[in-house]
Structure formats: C-alpha cells, structure tokens
Amino acid sequence: MKLIRVALLFLCCYLSFCKRSLTSDTPQEDLIDKKCLTEKYTHLSCNKVFCQPWQKCIDGTCVCKLPYQCPKNGTSVCSTNGRSYPTYCQQKSFECLRPEAKFLNNGKCTPEGQFSVSVNYRNTNSEGIVEVKLVDQDEKMFICKNSWSITQANVACRDLGFQQGAFDAQTNFNLPNHLHINDTECLHVHCRGLETSLAECTFTKRTTGYQGLAGVICYTQSVEDFVRKDNIFQCVNGKRISQEEACDGLNNCGDQSDELCCKECRGNSFLCKSGVCIPKEYKCNGEVDCITGEDEIGCQERRHPELQGFELMPRAAGRLGLQGLETVARGPEPEIEEDTKLLTADMDAERKRIKSLLPKLSCGVTNSEHIRRKRVVGGKAAEAGDFPWQVAIRDGEKINCGGIYIGGCWILTAAHCVRVSKAHRYQIWTAFLDWLKPNSELTVFWVNKVIIHENYNGATYENDIALIEMKKYSNQRECELHHSIPACVPWSPYLFQPNDKCVVSGWGREKDNQKVYSLKWGEVKLIGNCSKFYQDRYYEKKMQCAGTDDGSIDACKGDSGGPLVCMDINNVAYVWGVVSWGENCGKPDFPGVYTKVANYFDWISQHVGRSLISQHNV
C-alpha cells in the first residue's frame, strides 16, 4: 500500500499537478517528538539503539571495535578487497574502520564467484531494474518485487555508492520488450536495513508466482526536486522523505533517523518505550531490539511451536557454513507456507550469533520478590537481601549517607556526602540492615579513594555525584562482597520515563525528624517537567525528580547518596538516581531531587573502567 502511495507521489510530482499532500488520517506532527529531533539521533546513537556487535558505545555513539575485540569463534569471510578474514565480525570491524572494503561472501576468497549488483534498463546509473550475480551462479538474476521495499532498496543504493540510499523502491520499471522472463527467474532478498552491501542480505528462491521485478531510484541531488516542499521530514543524513514515512517502523532515511523520535508509530509497527519505532516483525523474533527490552516480552504463546527454546539463537544460526542449497522455512510465522531455498549464507543469523557470544554483565538481579509490594519518609522496613546494592557510609560514629554498590570495589554516592580529605575516616558497611541488631552478613570496608565530580557545585547541587573505591583486604585479590549484588548503571536517559515506578531506600529521617535505625524503602514515581516545582534550581539533564502525588513517600536527611532504583521489564534493577536534595521532606509539590545517573555513565566508566558497568555494546 505504502509503495503504491510513494510511486503515485513520484508520478504526480513528475506531472507537476500535485500541489497538495496526499491525505492521511493522523496529524503528522503529533507522532514526532520535535525536541528529540534536535539531538540528531541515528543508527549510531547508543542512547536509542543497540550498536552492532562489531561496534562499541562511547559517549553515546557507536564506534568501530578493533578486530581483536571480536569473538574468535566463526568461519572465514571474504571482502571486496580480496582479503579473507577469520570471522564476519572481524571483517565488519575492518570495514567499519576502512569502509572501502565491504563484505563479499561467506567462505574463502576465490577468483571466480564474485557477487555483484547493478541497476539496468534506464538511462542513468542511479536508477533501474536491479540485477545481482550471486557467488556460485553464472548468470545475473532479477529480484522479485514482492520481496522488495525501501529497506532492501536503501542497501542496494548504498552498495552502488549512493550514501543516502534510495529515493524510491521502484516496482513499475519494465523490461525492454525483447527480454522475457518466466516465473522462476527472480530471487527474493531480505535485509535488515543497515547492511553496507546487498551481499550481506539473504537471497532465497521461493516457489511463489512471478509478480514483477524490483527496481530502484537512488537518492541523488536531481531527485531532490521531486520531493515535496511541504510536509517533508529531514533525515540526519541530509535525505528528505515525506512525513508519512517517519515513525512507520521502516528505516526510510537509511540512517534510522526517521524512527528514533516517535511518540506513536504508524501502521503495525511497534513503539519502544524509548520512543523508537521498530518493524512489527521484530516483536518476539528472539532478539531484543528495544533498549528497554519490551519487544521480547509475553512472546511464549505467540511463537511458532518449532521456535520454542530458541531464545537468542535463530533457527538459521549454524547454517553459515552452508555451500549448496538448503530448504528451510524462515521466520516465526511465515505468511504463506512455502518451501524456501536459501541461496546465500544467512549473515543476519551470524550477526545474532556473534551478539550472543559477547561478554555479559551480571547486575541488578536479586532473588528477593517482596519489594514489589507498596510503600525513608512513609517507608517500610527492608528485609535481608531486598537491596543488596545498598551500602551505608559510616563517618566516625555516624551514618549520614547511603551509597550504591555498582561492582568491583566501587560505590556510587552523592558528592555532598563525602570529602576527599576524609577518605581515611570512612567505612563502607555492606549488606547492613539495622543499627540496633547488626546482622551476620554485614561486611565492612575501608576506603581507598574518594572521587568527587569535578563540576560539583555545592551551592546548586549540580553534578552531586561521587565515587568511592573501597580497600581490598590484604589477603584478597578483589573486593569480596558475598552478600552484595551491584545495581546496573543506566547507559541511556531513555531507559525510564516519567510515571515509571521506582524505589528509594535508606536510613534517613522520618518526616517528623525521628531517627531511623533500620533500612527503609518506599515506592515513588518519576516526575517529568520538575522545573514547575523548583523553577531555576532544576537542571533537566542532570537531575530527576521523584515522589508521590501526596508527598507521603520521600527521601530525607540521611538518605542522601543512597539509591533510587528502577526495575526494567525483566526485573533488572538500575540505579536511576542518587538521593541529592529537596525542599523539606514529604511535602506535596516539593518532590525529592536525585542526581540522574544516566547522564554520568561516561564519567563513571572513565573512573571504574567501561567493562565493569557496560551491559551492552562492549
């Protein structure tokens, strides 16, 4: 339907009687988050999307890994420069560093059997009917139009050197009359959309009837004249598409910039909590696509019976070594049951397999269930194991602040809780619950080093964040915290949103300034737009407000430096905030203010090492 509309649009603009936009029911503006667009997010923005397994995330951007950082396991691939690489990941990592050498084929490099793509039967080299020559096939072949969309068209144009991809996945080009093809003469192709060469996409031959051939118009300066002047969406890569194509789950821009700032998604595409639209086929496909994970939730019953038990390993994984033809039925629920002959190796399956081999970090997982129950000020008493990341910072005889264990020997706390010069006086009490009856799990550490954020401002509480490195015991190689579990450090400000429910915990005072001896906790919700409560004292990026409508649950004096923890959809705990400040305690309209940890991921990782806190994209 969409393709027909784009083709129509192109045609009517050609004839220049198309002044008004084609009608659409949804107001275009409402779907797009304008403020978010100013951030210029693309497929390389790891605040919004996962990086490719041959990339890592640095300061919010996916950058190339070095080839040696790839998993070793895999089979060789050949690149367009004629070189063989031990694995697909290594080739892609080299390509990422030096884009001129692209993927050519799976297996060793041989003189014959080169893959090639071309566009033909039109007068320019930027448009035409697509022809490919596969490895192991002598003849050039056409692609069937029913497997062709902007996703594959973008890849084909990029492969041909048009960096902005395709203007249109054209399916109305005709072959010259003297050429006749029968229904077995076209191939199906499936791409994910971010491939740099069509050779990375999967080619199949299916026994469906011939309907027409795939063509393409690549995006060049000359086609820009045909883009409507009103109702355009400006992609980050400079390409212009129509607004109807933004937030539809398809990567029309080619750099994904049309799908990353969405309040709603068009058609059947799926909206991630992070404001990203993904194709509906990605829901329950065994691979997590939303950074918040909800595309793989509640899938068991909807999955194809044969797929049960394959969590991250697609069926086609392990077929990579295949040389000849093989018969498989691809996809969880094929729309038409049909036999499919795989003509090329499934590099998408190999990408997923590489992803599953990357190191995994363990954090934020407890076996404690009951903190999900309701109700610091107005809080409830914690039980052993409820907050295994919670620590107390003891200064002499007093505990004035909390802290959060984030792994290794590292504790996160508030800058206003600690002084560098007092490091020798502090003790870190881990797995501690109650002053009056100390529990046996309690382990005490001395402090090696205190690091206060260099831009901490004691007057405004900006950057109220600090790290404490605990001292190892002389007979131990690492900090051994047998009863503590690190909370995960959020790497993106889009992991949680206003109104999400989170938990604050600490030994802080009650509303009436009553002393508290046991660890307490309370459920609060994240509050957006907090400047309305604290006018010019609130810094949106660096701070996070949280509380309840009636103010009954709040952090208070003594809770500072402690955790505001939010659980993701898989019940993994993230330290979203560090208790920082607030006007009084437990008053409506004066919510607690927390240091927004996601904004400090890079600062934390610079000090503790990226591998200690990176869950993805390492």
Q: Catalytic amino acids?
A: 416, 464, 560
Q: How far is CA 182 from the centre of its chain?
A: 43
Task: Tell me: does residue 577 bind ligand 4AZ (CB under 6 A).
Answer: no
Distance CA(258)–CA(157), nearest Å, equals: 18
Residue with the two structure tokens 């107001």:
27
225 Cβ contact partners less than 8 Å away, ≥ 6 residues apart = none
Largest pairwise CA distance in the chain: 94
582 touches ligand 4AZ by CB under 6 A: yes
- The answer to whether 330 touches 340, Cβ cutoff 8 Å, is yes
In terms of CB distance, is 126 or 548 closer to ligand 4AZ? 548
Q: How far is the CB of 582 from ligand 4AZ (least distance, A)?
A: 3
Site for ligand 4AZ in 218-257 (CB under 6 A): none
CB of 70 or CB of 401, closer to ligand 4AZ: 401
Stretch that binds ligand 4AZ, among 143-151, 178-186, 486-494, 578-586 (CB under 6 A): 578-586
**Closest to 427 (Cα-Cα) out of 468, 458, 379, 462:** 468
Give the position of tokens 């503590």.
484
Output the smallest distance, CB 74 to ligand 4AZ, in A. Answer: 51
Does 543 help bind ligand 4AZ (rule: CB under 6 A)? Answer: no
Selection from 319, 320, 316, 325 nearest residue 77 by Cα: 320
Shortest distance (Å) from residue 417 CB to ligand 4AZ: 8
505 sits near ligand 4AZ (criterion: CB under 6 A): no
Q: How far apart are CA 168 and CA 154, in angstroms?
A: 9
Number of residues in contact with ligand 4AZ under rule CB under 6 A: 11
Q: Does 350 bind ligand 4AZ (CB under 6 A)?
A: no
Identified binder of ligand 4AZ from the candidate list 166, 347, 556, 604, rule CB under 6 A: 556
| Cα–Cα distance measured from residue 15 to residue 267, given in angstroms and rounded to the nearest whole number | 29
Applying CB under 6 A, the span of 196-204, 297-305, 472-480, 581-589 interacting with ligand 4AZ comes to 581-589
CB of 600 to ligand 4AZ, least distance (A): 18
Residue whose entry in the numeric block shows the structure tokens 């305690």: 585
**Which is closer to ligand 4AZ, CB of 375 or CB of 607?**
375
| Cα 387 from Cα 384, distance rounded (Å) | 8
Secondary structure tally for the chain: helices H, strands E: 10, 31
Contact 276, 47 (CB under 8 A): no
Q: 607 Cβ partners below 8 Å, 6+ apart? A: 410, 451, 467
CA pseudo-torsion sign 497, 501, 506, 511: positive
Q: Which is nearer to ligand 4AZ, 481 or 579 (by Cβ)?
A: 579
Binding region for ligand 4AZ (CB under 6 A) out of 103-111, 120-128, 522-530, 550-558 = 550-558
Residue 579 lies near ligand 4AZ (rule: CB under 6 A) = yes
Q: Does 332 bind ligand 4AZ (CB under 6 A)?
A: no
- The closest residue (CB) to ligand 4AZ is 582
Shortest distance (Å) from residue 64 CB to ligand 4AZ: 43
DSSP β-bridge partners for residue 144:
213
- Contact flag: residue 578 with ligand 4AZ (CB under 6 A): no
End-to-end CA distance of the chain: 40
Q: Please state the separation of Cα 159 from the chain's center in Å.
A: 25
- Total residues belonging to the chain: 618
- Of the candidate spans 73-81, 250-258, 426-434, 549-557, the one that interacts with ligand 4AZ by CB under 6 A turns out to be 549-557
Nearest CB to ligand 4AZ, comparing residues 254 and 547: 547
Give the tokens for residue 566: 């939010």
CB of 549 to ligand 4AZ, least distance (A): 15
Q: Which is nearer to ligand 4AZ, 519 or 555 (CB)?
A: 555
Contacts of 72 (CB under 8 A, 6+ apart): 86, 87
What tokens appear for 568 in the block?
A: 């993701």
Q: Which stretch binds ligand 4AZ (CB under 6 A): 56-64, 320-328, 462-470, 554-562?
A: 554-562
Strand pairing of 186-190 and 141-143? parallel
Q: How far is the CB of 524 from ligand 4AZ (least distance, A)?
A: 10
Answer yes or no whether residue 52 interacts with ligand 4AZ by CB under 6 A.
Answer: no
Query: In the window 557-576, what residues touch ligand 4AZ (CB under 6 A)?
Result: 557, 559-560
Minimum distance of ligand 4AZ from residue 46's CB (angstroms): 32
Closest approach, Cβ 581 to ligand 4AZ, in A, equals: 6
Of residues 344 and 560, the one with the C-beta less far from ligand 4AZ: 560
**Element (DSSP H or E) covering residue 240:** strand 240-242
In whole angstroms, give the CA distance from residue 580 to residue 414: 6
CA atoms within 13 A on the CB side of 30: 6
Residue 525 interacts with ligand 4AZ (CB under 6 A): yes or no? no
Is residue 168 part of the contact set for ligand 4AZ (CB under 6 A)? no
Site string for ligand 4AZ, 587-616 (x = CB under 6 A): -----x------------------------
- Where do contacts with ligand 4AZ occur on this chain (CB under 6 A)? 554-557, 559-560, 579, 581-582, 585, 592
